[in-house]
Structure 1
Amino acid sequence: MRIGLDMMGGDYAPAEAVKGVRLFLDNAAPEVHLVLIGDEQALAPLISDARLDQSRYTVVHSSQVIGMNEHPTKALKEKPQSSISIGFHLLQNKKVDAFISAGNTGAMMVGAIYSIKLIPGVQRPTISTILPREDGSNGLLLDVGINADCKPENLVQFAILGSLYSQYIMGTATPRVGLLNIGEEEGKGNLLAQATYPLLKENALLNFIGNVEGRDIFKETVDVIVCEGFTGNVVLKMAESFHDVAVRRNIKDEYMDRFDHEQYGGTPVLGVAEPVIIGHGIARAEAFKNMIRTAQQMIESKLMDKIRESFVEVAKEN
């Protein structure tokens, strides 16, 4: 198993990326080999200080970096030797089994869609966020930002993708799906919610239980909550602020600690043909470690194959 990691992406790279690699390798199975993509001159002293086992990683040199504010498509075209461009080249050519970056999100999305391509039948890729729940378990919310405007069919596909991720990565046996809405009753909500509800209800691949409200987001009511990316991103940013407020006010609470994005690292781009994970721009060591672990889980569980099989079923029904 070979996992590619952009060592130059993120506000605190490459130092925090190297620390994250060390944290991961300290407890990782020996069959996991990391491909570290970045400037060899910048990486060499950091890797030396970290005393990484040389048998566990390979460095692939990149002479360019795509900045956080660069235009994604233009940057990928004009910087073929950037760490992100090289990462997608390796993934596209089966030199790595997954690719991770905390760099330019737009470039990661463009690379995922146009270099790796969507799984046949998937209309749009989606990204999700983990929802810490009061009982200690986690739920999933999607989409959280890349699909601000959606059609009902998109939300149904997000529900399928989220259910598969919840089942095979998060370990939920039969994920319960809810539609985020302003009321529990069928027929509530805007035109998108009203049109989506019956499609979710009749889909045989989903364990749909109905509408859920904002007050249910952090409860154990459902395992997967579906919405369009505009609403999802508002919820995500609000949830991230819980931890920030707790830190500023010196509030010590185990539940609030679970809103720290470092615990989850990044989010997979669900719907593309290979495992691609996008990290937070301010990712530090713990986040890098957890992104690598998520990639490992996606590969080991054969999640992409499960998604392909499900969308073959979707095509048959249509």
Structure 2
Amino acid sequence: MNIALDMMGGDFAPLEAVKGVQLFYSQSQQQVNLILIGDEQKINPLLSEYKIASENIKVVHAAQVIEMHEHPTKALKEKQQSSIAIGFHLLSTGKVDAFISAGNTGAMMVGALFSIKAIEGVLRPTIGGYLPKENGNLSLLVDVGLNSDCKPENLNQFAVLGSLFAKHILNTPDPRVALVNLGEEEGKGNLLTQSAYSFLKENHQINFVGNAEGRDLLKDKADVYVCDGFTGNVILKFAESIYDIVQNRKIEDEHFNRFNFEIYGGVPVLGVNKPVIIGHGISHAKAFDNMIKMAKKMLDENLIDKMRSSFAG
């Protein structure tokens, strides 16, 4: 199993990525080979400093970095020797099985869509975010920003992709799917949610439980919440602000502590042909460790093959 990690992505690169690698291997994950992509003159001294001398590690030099402010498509085209471009080249040519980066989100999405492409039958891939429930479990919100404008068919496919992720990665046996709406009753909402409800209701691949209002999202109404990316991104950023306020006010609460994104690592791109995980720009060691673990689990569970089967025919 070969997992590529962009060492230059994020505000604290490459130090926190190196510390994340150290944390990962400290837990005896020796069956995983990590391909570390970035400036070897910066990476190698840190590997020595943190005493990471594993035969399972290979450093691939990248002379360029795609910065956060750069235009994704232009940067990928002009910076062929960047860590993100090299990572997707390795992924598309089969030299690695998964790719992780906390770098330019747009470049990661463009790279995923144009190098490894969407699974056949998937109209639009999606990205999911996590919502900690009050009961201690975790739900998945899809989409959280990739597709700001959607058709009902898109939401229907997001539900299938989200359900498979919740079942095989979040260990939810029979994930309940709800449509984010402004009322519980069938027929509520705008044209998109009204039409999407009909699709979801007839979809036998999912366990659809109806509409969910905003007040339901942190409770146990469902395990997968489906919405367009505009709505999902607003919800996700609002959840992040809750964590920031709790931290600023020095409030210790078990539930609100679980709003810390580092616990989960990054968000998966669902609906593309290989595992791609995007981390937050301010990721620290714990987040990188958890992103590697997520990539490993996606590979262990053959999640992409299960997604392909769901969209076959």
In the alignment, the residues of structure 1 paired with residue 216 and residue 124 of structure 2 have an alpha-carbon distance, to the nearest angstrom, of 26
In the alignment, the residues of structure 1 paired with residue 252 and residue 72 of structure 2 have an alpha-carbon distance, to the nearest angstrom, of 40
Match of 1:86 in 2: 86
- In the alignment, does 2:192 pair up with 1:187? no
How far 1:28 moved relative to its partner?
Answer: 4.0
How far 1:53 moved relative to its partner?
Answer: 2.8
In the alignment, the residues of structure 1 paired with residue 35 and residue 168 of structure 2 have an alpha-carbon distance, to the nearest angstrom, of 25
Deviations 1:209-258 (A, max 9, x none): 10011111011111000000011000000101111101110101111110
How far 1:30 moved relative to its partner?
Answer: 1.7
Deviations 1:259-309 (A, max 9, x none): 011111111110000000111011111111111110001000000000000
- In the alignment, does 2:302 pair up with 1:307? no
Match of 1:121 in 2: 121
Task: Answer with 27-36 or 238-247: which moved more.
Answer: 27-36
Counterpart residue type for residue 16 of structure 1 = E
Q: SS state of the match for residue 179, structure 1?
A: strand
Q: SS state of the match for residue 134, structure 1?
A: coil
In the alignment, the residues of structure 1 paired with residue 160 and residue 28 of structure 2 have an alpha-carbon distance, to the nearest angstrom, of 30
Please give the residue correspondences for 1:90-169 in structure 2 after superposition, counting only pairs within 5 Å: 90-169=90-169
In the alignment, the residues of structure 2 paired with residue 230 and residue 66 of structure 1 have an alpha-carbon distance, to the nearest angstrom, of 25
Whether the aligned pair in 1 keeps the contact of 2:177 and 2:210 (CA below 8 Å) is yes
Deviations 1:137-190 (A, max 9, x none): 101101000100000000000000000000010111111000000111000001
In the alignment, the residues of structure 1 paired with residue 235 and residue 271 of structure 2 have an alpha-carbon distance, to the nearest angstrom, of 22
In the alignment, the residues of structure 1 paired with residue 217 and residue 30 of structure 2 have an alpha-carbon distance, to the nearest angstrom, of 38
Q: How many residues align?
A: 313
Taking structure 1 as the reference length, the TM-score comes to 0.97
Cα RMSD after superposing both structures: 0.7
Whether the aligned pair in 1 keeps the contact of 2:47 and 2:53 (CA below 8 Å) is no
Q: SS state of the match for residue 118, structure 2?
A: coil
Give structure 1 regions of 4+ aligned residues with deviation exceeding 6 angstroms.
none
In the alignment, the residues of structure 1 paired with residue 182 and residue 223 of structure 2 have an alpha-carbon distance, to the nearest angstrom, of 18
In the alignment, the residues of structure 2 paired with residue 203 and residue 167 of structure 1 have an alpha-carbon distance, to the nearest angstrom, of 17
Counterpart residue type for residue 100 of structure 2 = I
- In the alignment, does 2:200 pair up with 1:200? yes
Whether the aligned pair in 1 keeps the contact of 2:126 and 2:143 (CA below 8 Å) is yes
In the alignment, the residues of structure 2 paired with residue 201 and residue 121 of structure 1 have an alpha-carbon distance, to the nearest angstrom, of 20
The unaligned stretches of length 5 or more in structure 2 are none
Q: SS state of the match for residue 113, structure 2?
A: helix
The unaligned stretches of length 5 or more in structure 1 are none
